[in-house]
Chain A
Amino acid sequence: MKLNKTNLEKRLLKNKIFYETIKIFSYALLIPLALILFYIIKNGIAYLNLDFFIKMPAPVGETGGGALSAIIGSFLIVGLSGLIAIPLGMLIGVFLAEFKEHKINNLTRLAVETLQGIPSIIYGIVAYAWFVMPFGKFSGISASIALALMMLPMVAKATEESLKMIPYTLKEASYALGANYYTTIKKVILPSCQKGITSGVLIGISRILGETAPLLFTAFGNAFLNFNMAKPINALPLLIYNYASSPYQEWHQIAWASSLFLIIIVLGLSIISKNVIK
C-alpha cells in the first residue's frame, strides 16, 4: 500500500491525544466532587450525632447543640409544599395529557414550562409580596407556597409524561367495562403511572428540600423551636446559610453536619427515584 505513513502516524497520534484529553477532562470532575464530599463528611460526621437531631443550636460561645428547629422546620415547610403541589401538579399533568384539544392546553403547557425556568430567588420575592407584605410577618406558610410553586411544574411534567406512555387500549378496556372517565383515570390510568409520578414527586421533594433562596424572605429563620407555620420558622438550608456567614467555629460545625444530613437525604431521594423507575 502506497499511502503516506508519516501522515497516518501523525493522525493516529492526534486521535490518541484527543481521546486521552477528553477522558482526562471527563474524569477530572471527580476531583472537585470528591473534595466537596470529603470536606462535608470529614467536618460533618463528628457532629451528626444524636444531639444534632434532638437539641437546639447552642448559643454563641457554647459548644455542642443541634439543628432540631431547622430539621422540624424543613419537614414542616416541605411537607406543606408537597400537600399543595402533588395533587395540584397531578391535576395539571392529567389536564395537559388528556385535554389536548382544549383551547388553553398549549398555553397551560407554556405556563408550566415558564414556571419551571423561573429563578428560585424570584419565587421568594413573589411569595413575600403575596403573604409576607399583607400579613406583616414572615411565615412558614409563605415559604411553603414558594416551594410548592417550584415543585408544581416538576409534578405536572412527570404526570403528563407518564400518562403519555399509557397505551390507549388500556383506557378502552376500562370504558368497555362500563367505567366512566373519572373512574378510568383514578382506578386504571393513574395507578399504571404510579412509578413515573412517584419518581417525579421524589425528585421534586429532593430539589425543594435544598432550596434556600425562596426561604430567605419567607420562612426567614427562627432562633427558637417553632411548630407554628404562621410564624417565622427555621430550615436546614437557611441554617447552613446563616451559620456559614457567621464567624463562630461551633456554628460552622453545625452547618457542616447539616450539609452532610441534607446531602444524604437529597441524594438518597434522587437515588430512590431512579430505582423507582427501574
Chain B
Amino acid sequence: MKIMINLTTHKKNQLFIKTLKGAGYLTLIILTLFLFTLIFNSFLSLKTISLSFLFNTNWQPNTGNFGAAPFIIGTLFTSILALLISIPFSLSISIYIGYFLKNKKRKNTLETLMDLLAGIPSVIYGFWGLMVLVPIIIKLQTTLGIIPYGVGILAASLILSLMIIPYSVTLGKDVINLVPTDLVEAAIGLGATPYEVIKHIAIPYSLSGLFAGHLMAFGRAISETMAVTMVIGNRNFIPKSIMDPANTLASVIANEFGEASAPLHISSLIELGLILLIITTIINIIGKIIVKAYTIET
C-alpha cells in the first residue's frame, strides 16, 4: 500500500516536471507559429509585389495598387512628432522625481499621475480625442484658414505623446535616481548648483538609460493602434504637413482588415503587420540591450 502511494506521487512529480518543460517548449512553438503565420499570410503580397511594396507611394485597394510608403512615412511622422512633444515632459518628470523629490507624498502624486496616464485604455484616448481634441483643432484650423479636417497627424501625435510619457518616465526616473550619491556630492562639494549637477553630471551619466527609455516609448508610439486610428483621419496618402489626415501601419490595418476581401489586399495588410512587427522588435531589442548593459555597469 505504502509503495503504491509513493509510486503515484513519484509519477505526479515526473509529470509535473514534464509539464513545466512542456510549457517552455510551448512558448517557443507559439512564437514560431505566430511569426510563421504572419510570413505565410503575407507570402502572396511578398511574391506579387516584392520589394517595391516598401517604396510604392500608392495604396488603392480597388485598383489593386499596394504600396506601404504612405503608412511607413505616416507612422514615422506621427511617432517622431509625438516623441518630440513628449520629451520636455518626460525629461522634466524623470529629473523631478529622480533627483529632486525626496518627499514621498509629492513623489506619489506624480507616480500615480503616470500610472493613470498609462492605465487609460487606448480606445478611450481615441474617443476623447475625437470628441474633445479634434473640435479644438478644427477651430484652430478654421482660424488659420486651412482646411479644417480636425483629424490628422497633429491630433494623433498629441494623443500619442500623452500615452507614451509614462513609458519614458518609468526608466528615466530610475536611471536619474541611480546616479551615485558620491558623484552628486563631489559636484556639490565643488560648488555646483543642482542645475549644474544635472547638466554636467547626472544627465551625461544616465544618458544611455534616458535614451533607452525614450526609444522604447517611441516603439510604443509606433505600435499604438486604436487611439491613432480614431483621430488620424485614415487617408492613404503621404502626409505633407502636421495638419494632414494620414494613416499609420497599425491604423490602416485596423481600418481596412475587417472589410478586406481580395486576397492580395488581405495579404498586403498582413505584410504591413509584419513590417510593423519587425520595426518594433528591433527597437525593443536595442532598448533592452542598452538597459542590460546599464544594469551590469551600475
Contacts and interface: CB of A to CB of B under 8 A. Distances in A.
Contact of B119 (A121, A124, A206): A206
B23 A88 contact: yes
Interface stretch (A49-57, A61-69, A97-105, A223-231): A97-105
Interface residues of B, number: 77
A259 B270 CA distance: 30
Contacts of B230: 241, 244-245
A210 interface: yes
A179 B8 CA distance: 14
Interface residues of A, number: 84
A19 B101 CA distance: 11
B123 A241 contact: yes
Interface stretch (A34-42, A75-83, A164-172, A192-200): A34-42
Contact of A105 (B24, B122, B125, B276): B24
Contacts of B63: none
A181 B89 contact: no
A149 to B, nearest CB: 7
Nearest to A22: B92
A183 B226 CA distance: 45
Contact of B96 (A23, A108, A115, A181): A23
Nearest to A91: B23
Interface string B13-31: 1001101111111111011
Interface string B207-250: 00000000000010011111000100000000000000000001
A39 B131 contact: yes
A122 interface: yes
A24 B95 CA distance: 12
A262 B95 CA distance: 32
B133 to A, nearest CB: 9
B110 A92 contact: no
B88 interface: yes
Nearest to B193: A15
A114 B281 contact: yes
B258 A119 contact: no
Interface string B160-202: 0010010000000000000000000000000001111010000
| Interface-centre pick from A19, A36, A185, A220 (highest chain B CB count, 10 A) | A36
Contacts, number: 236
B121 A211 contact: yes
A112 B257 CA distance: 27
Tell me whether chain A's interface is mostly helix, strand or loop, or mixed.
helix
Contact of B31 (A19, A88, A115, A259): A115
B124 A262 contact: yes
Nearest to B12: A182
| Interface-centre pick from B10, B24, B27, B37 (highest chain A CB count, 10 A) | B27
Contact of A126 (B10, B16, B34): B34
Given A95-B23, A108-B27, A119-B225, A267 B119 contact: yes
Contacts of A206: 119
A267 B116 contact: yes
Contacts of B162: 29, 32
Contact of B124 (A111, A217, A240, A252): A240
Nearest to A118: B277
A193 to B, nearest CB: 15
A187 interface: no
Interface string B114-146: 011101111111111011100000000000000
Contacts of A98: 20
Contacts of B294: none
A21 B92 contact: yes
Contacts of A256: 127
Contacts of B23: 88, 91-92, 94-95
A111 B273 contact: no
A11 B200 CA distance: 14
A220 B257 CA distance: 11
Contacts of A28: 89
Contacts of A33: 113, 116-117
B195 A180 contact: no
Given A14-B195, A94-B23, A182-B16, 15 more contacts: A15-B196, A19-B194, A24-B92, A36-B128, A91-B22, A92-B27, A102-B24, A113-B288, A118-B281, A126-B34, A240-B127, A241-B127, A252-B131, A262-B124, A263-B124
24 contacts: A11-B193, A29-B162, A29-B165, A32-B162, A35-B132, A40-B128, A94-B20, A95-B21, A95-B23, A95-B24, A104-B25, A114-B281, A119-B273, A120-B223, A181-B17, A206-B119, A209-B121, A212-B226, A241-B123, A245-B230, A256-B127, A259-B128, A263-B121, A274-B115
